[in-house]
């Protein structure tokens, strides 16, 4: 079972002090939060992708690569990679490169996103959102598994003899989670490929997403990847922790009730009706255990802890309490309740072993018998005298 944190990288005024972090401060503070998560033994740090204010993670690969260099063991992930407005060829390249930089400590969560204006900004039609997500992932899946791809679809130019570089580390692509809270077609695609399915279990009533999770489990079994109990499920969550319950409620109330998404809502009502956990470590533990009771055994639990204008020192304290007071108990309790033969969340090392056993992993290298993707000219062939005459520094 993996436990970690995920962030949307929002910028909001602190309702208590009135202070608003600059973009530079927020970026720097996200790095500090990720480092603290690594230090306290959390398993995953996940970063969203957004292209509109007040969010700053427009380039998650850049920030995650920096974090990879500053951490030792934590798995780095996206909490969404936009499968609709990004080119799947660029996703294949960027995240394979990041997988190498992070030495395998990487997976990603693909999704459609929920910001309507993003589609036209990137030349896409939101009315085609589901079809875009499905087609683009189908291509991404092939680009990471086939050295040479011929492909033709609806939403991008065809590919002829295309090789995405670099190839995935050890020829094992990053594990993919499909994030969706409203679209059975996405759950179906996740099940078809045997990928993970992530339901962002916040903002909605308790167990609201159970029908989609159950549908994914059934289809996972249908496609022969294992029993429905062995399907790879992840859940989101939102928490604010203090050693005393009332301190947690009193401290968090202004941050919750003044945040634009929740303005006009009652914190007490929200705590009762939704997965939001606000209280002592034991109360957060008890609430999270209800997720296992409702959804069944699952592999990944991520908490949103650092948004809504919280000052960074408070966010770091949240990570500390989660990693030292909450997660150790959850690990023990969930393991004790776990059914036999439920798999752990896939990570690079276990996937390499699954593919190769005791053999050495394949390490792809440039193929001297193939040309480049544009001209067909091999970088290893004898130079052309005409080219050498005009461009001597290029040969």
Q: Where are the domains of the chain?
A: 2-364, 366-395
Share of the chain above pLDDT 70, in %: 93
Q: Given pLDDT bands bounded at 50, 70 and 90, which one contains residue 48?
A: very high
Q: Helix (H, G, I), strand (E, B), or coil: what is residue 268?
A: helix
Q: Given pLDDT bands bounded at 50, 70 and 90, which one contains residue 375?
A: low
pLDDT at 395 > cutoff 90? no
Average pLDDT, stretch 248-271?
95
pLDDT at 377 > cutoff 60? no
pLDDT number for residue 367: 63
Q: What is the dotted CATH code of the domain comprising 2-364? A: 3.20.20.30
Pair of tokens at residue 158: 């065809």
pLDDT number for residue 201: 83
**Measured between alpha carbons, how far is 234 from 225 in angstroms, rounded to an integer?**
17
Nearest to 12 by CA among 28, 31, 1, 25: 25
Q: Is the dihedral of CA 338, 343, 348, 350 positive or negative?
A: positive
Average pLDDT, stretch 139-153?
97
DSSP state of 228: G
DSSP-assigned states of every residue in 163-216: --SSPPGGG-PPEEEEE-SS-HHHHHHHHHHT-EEEE---SS-TTTTHHHHHHH
Q: Given pLDDT bands bounded at 50, 70 and 90, which one contains residue 380?
A: very low
Beta bridge partners of 279: 241
Element (H, E) at 290: helix 281-295
């Amino acid at each position: 079972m993996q436990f970690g944190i995920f962030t949307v990288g929002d910028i909001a005024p602190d309702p208590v002090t009135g202070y608003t972090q600059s973009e530079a401060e927020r970026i720097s503070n996200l790095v500090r939060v990720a480092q603290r998560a690594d230090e306290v033994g959390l398993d995953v740090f996940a970063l969203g992708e957004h292209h509109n204010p007040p969010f700053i993670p427009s380039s998650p690969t850049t920030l995650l690569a920096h974090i990879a260099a500053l951490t030792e063991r934590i798995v780095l992930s996206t909490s969404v990679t936009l499968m609709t407005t990004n080119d799947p060829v660029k996703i294949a390249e960027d995240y394979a490169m990041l997988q190498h930089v992070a030495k395998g400590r990487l997976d990603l969560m693909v999704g459609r996103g929920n910001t309507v204006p993003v589609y036209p900004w990137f030349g896409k039609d939101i009315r085609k959102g589901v079809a875009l997500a499905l087609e683009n992932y189908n291509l991404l899946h092939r680009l990471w598994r086939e050295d040479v791809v011929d492909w033709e679809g609806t939403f991008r130019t065809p590919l002829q003899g295309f090789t995405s570089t670099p190839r995935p580390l050890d020829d094992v692509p990053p594990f993919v989670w499909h994030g969706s809270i409203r679209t059975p077609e996405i759950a179906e695609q996740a099940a078809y490929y045997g990928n993970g399915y992530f339901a962002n279990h916040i903002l909605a009533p308790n167990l609201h997403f159970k029908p989609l999770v159950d549908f994914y489990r059934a289809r996972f079994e249908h496609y022969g990847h294992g029993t429905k109990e062995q399907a790879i499920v992840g859940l989101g969550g939102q928490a604010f922790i203090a050693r005393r319950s009332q301190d947690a409620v009193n401290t968090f109330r202004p941050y919750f009730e003044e945040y634009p998404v929740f303005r006009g809502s009652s914190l007490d009502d929200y705590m009762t009706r939704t997965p939001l956990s606000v209280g002592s470590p034991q109360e957060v533990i008890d609430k999270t255990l209800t997720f296992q009771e409702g959804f069944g055994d699952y592999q990944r639990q991520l908490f949103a802890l650092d948004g809504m204008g919280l000052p960074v020192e408070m966010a770091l304290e949240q990570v500390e309490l989660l990693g030292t007071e909450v997660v150790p108990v959850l690990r023990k309790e969930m393991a004790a309740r776990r059914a036999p033969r439920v798999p752990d969340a896939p990570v690079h090392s276990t996937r390499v072993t699954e593919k190769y056993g005791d053999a050495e992993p394949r390490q792809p290298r440039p193929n001297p018998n193939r040309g480049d993707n544009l001209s067909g000219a091999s970088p290893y062939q004898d130079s052309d005298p005409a080219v050498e005459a005009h461009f001597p520094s290029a040969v």
